[in-house]
């Protein structure tokens, strides 16, 4: 299936946060996350990402695979 | 005394979700059935997910990372067997009954959204640009700039100095124009193969932690039948643009986060 091949091997945390925190249906449930809380995350994200990246360097994990159809 | 529990809502489907697939991810998942809708939920402790707990935990990036990843993985697993409406991270209810009341209120809208999403997938396209590399390729094929370069080499130092300044200006303009053209062209071509398309805000380098600059952040709702064509178009765009300093990052299929907005916007501010 093309899906498996095309998707970046490690979808980054950023990709996930960019959707999970900002998109999706917004309903005011009984508890509310404030916008300030979300901003805090973006502020701190760089620190976290750098440490994740460092770990990946040590493991030698590739960032993304080439996009090719299987033969 | 046991801790008070809240109900964390991940997604809604219109067929009975196969939770066997997702039970490996986390304990305590179940679904709340109301009329023909199923809400995939989990009981969470109030100390962790209540107003105070959330405020504290949202500042703890490891906690956010774990829970945001869980949120995503869980919805992806449910999505493998059903169309889903993904909810935003941290949508919480006090009880199953208050969740049911919400399902009652928005049920018809959710059903309409699920009909719209049937047999479609969300794909994400982010385009990044290495401006220096693009400049280098622009210098070699912009006739205006080539002309000015010739003038510079045959001019005395004083005049050459001003021509250099003019060249830098032209180069910056031309590079910007190329970024806009490439981004717009890519977006339009992919949009033609999609049911809906969205342009989202660009994320700064401090957040992406990449050396190149994000120049397009977009999402597409693609019919499952058309995904092959969509991917082929992405490949074509990569071939045309990646040697000039662009990097096209294609991810998917995602839960349709970008395409399940409620028509009634007042709920967002309620």
pLDDT tens digits, A13-44: 888 888 998 888 887 777 766 666 666 666 66
How confident is the prediction along chain B (270 residues), in pLDDT tens digits per residue?
Answer: 678 999 999 999 999 888 877 777 888 899 999 999 999 999 999 999 988 888 888 888 889 889 999 999 999 999 988 999 999 998 999 999 999 999 999 999 999 999 999 999 999 999 999 999 999 888 888 888 889 988 998 888 889 999 999 999 999 999 999 999 999 999 999 999 999 999 998 988 877 878 999 999 999 999 999 999 999 999 999 999 998 999 999 999 999 999 998 765 444 433
What DSSP element (H or E) covers B8?
Answer: strand B5-13
Q: Are B129 and B212 in contact (CB under 8 A)?
A: yes
Q: Are residues B114 and B125 in the same domain?
A: no
Residues recorded for chain A: 71
Q: B198 and B114, same structural domain?
A: no
Residues B78 and B127 in one domain: no
Q: Are B39 and B84 in contact (CB under 8 A)?
A: no
Structure-block tokens of residue B114 = 């699920």
CB of B38 within 8 A of CB of B15?
yes
Beta-carbon neighbour count of residue B242 at 10 Å? Answer: 12
Domain that holds residue B71: 5-118
Does residue B140 form part of some domain? no
Q: A35-59 vs A13-20: helix axis angle to the nearest 10?
A: 160
B181 and B101 part of one domain: no
Q: Are B127 and B240 found together in one domain?
A: yes
Q: At which of B118, B142, B166 does a domain end?
A: B118
Residue B107 domain flag: yes
Report the CATH number that the domain containing residue B220 is assigned in CATH: 3.30.70.100
Residues of chain B in contact with residue A26, where contact means CB-CB under 8 angstroms, are 87-88, 91, 262, 267-268
Joined together, the tokens standing for residue B242 give 């990646």
| Together in a domain, B107 and B126 | no
DSSP SS3 for B209:
coil
Q: What's B84's DSSP letter?
A: -
Is B104 inside a domain boundary? yes
Complex prediction ipTM: 0.80
Residue of A nearest to B203 (CA): A18
Q: How far is A41 from chain B (nearest CA, A)?
A: 6
Nearest-CA distance B228 → chain A (Å): 7
- B62 and B189 in a single domain? The answer is no
Q: Are residues B189 and B97 in the same domain?
A: no
**Beta bridge pairs of residue B32:** B39
Q: Is residue B108 part of a domain?
A: yes
Cis link prior to B253 (omega < 30° from 0)? yes
Q: Where are the domains of chain A?
A: 2-59
- Looking at the structure, do residues B94 and B192 belong to the same domain, yes or no? no
According to the model, what pLDDT value does residue A5 have? 40
**Does residue B270 belong to any structural domain of this protein?**
no
Size of interface A-B (CB pairs under 8 A): 143
φ/ψ (deg, to 5) at B227: -60, -40
Same domain? For B126 and B72 the reply is no
Give the integer Cα–Cα distance in Å for B32 and B41: 7
Same domain, B125 and B83: no
Residue B145 falls inside a structural domain = no
- pLDDT at A15 (0 to 100): 86
Q: Is the dihedral of CA B228, B230, B233, B234 positive or negative?
A: negative
Q: Please state, rounded to an integer, the average pLDDT across all residues of chain A.
A: 60
pLDDT band for position A49 (cuts 50, 70, 90): low
Q: Do B257 and A23 touch (CB under 8 A)?
A: yes
Q: Looking at the structure, do residues B180 and B235 belong to the same domain, yes or no?
A: yes
DSSP state at residue B112: H
Cross-chain Cβ contact A40/B59 below 8 Å: yes
Q: Does A55 touch chain B (CB under 8 A)?
A: no
Number of compact structural domains in chain B = 2
Residue B154, in any domain of the structure = no
Pairing of the two strands B120-129 and B246-254: antiparallel
Residue B28: per-residue pLDDT: 85
């Amino acid at each position: 299936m093309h899906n498996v091949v095309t998707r970046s091997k490690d979808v980054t945390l950023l990709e996930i946060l960019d959707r999970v925190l900002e998109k999706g249906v917004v309903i005011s449930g009984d508890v509310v996350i404030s916008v300030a809380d979300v901003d805090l995350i973006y502020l701190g994200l760089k620190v976290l990402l750098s440490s994740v990246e460092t770990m990946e360097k040590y493991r030698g994990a590739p960032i993304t695979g080439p996009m090719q159809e299987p033969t | 005394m046991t801790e008070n529990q809240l109900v964390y809502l991940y997604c809604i489907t219109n067929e009975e979700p196969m939770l066997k697939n997702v039970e490996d991810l986390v304990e305590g998942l179940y679904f709340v059935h109301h009329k023909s809708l199923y809400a995939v939920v989990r009981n969470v402790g109030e100390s962790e997910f209540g107003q105070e707990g959330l405020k504290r935990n949202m500042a703890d990036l490891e906690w956010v990372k774990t829970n945001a990843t869980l949120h995503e993985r869980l919805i992806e697993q449910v999505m493998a067997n059903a169309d889903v409406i993904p909810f935003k991270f941290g949508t919480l209810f006090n009880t199953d009954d208050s969740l049911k009341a919400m399902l009652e209120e928005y049920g018809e809208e959710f059903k309409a959204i699920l009909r719209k999403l049937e047999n479609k997938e969300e794909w994400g396209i982010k385009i990044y640009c290495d401006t220096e590399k693009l400049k280098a390729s622009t210098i070699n094929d912009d006739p205006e700039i080539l002309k000015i370069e010739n003038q510079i080499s045959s001019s005395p130092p004083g005049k050459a100095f001003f021509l250099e300044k003019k060249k830098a200006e032209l180069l910056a303009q031309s590079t910007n124009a190329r970024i806009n053209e490439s981004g717009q062209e890519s977006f339009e071509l992919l949009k033609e193969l999609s049911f809906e398309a969205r342009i989202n805000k660009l994320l700064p380098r401090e957040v992406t932690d990449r050396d190149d600059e994000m120049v397009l952040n977009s999402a597409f709702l693609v019919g499952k039948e058309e995904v092959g064509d969509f991917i082929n178009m992405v490949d074509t765009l990569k071939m045309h643009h990646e040697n000039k300093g662009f990097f096209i990052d294609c991810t998917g299929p995602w839960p349709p986060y970008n395409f399940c907005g409620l028509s009634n916007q007042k709920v967002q501010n309620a």
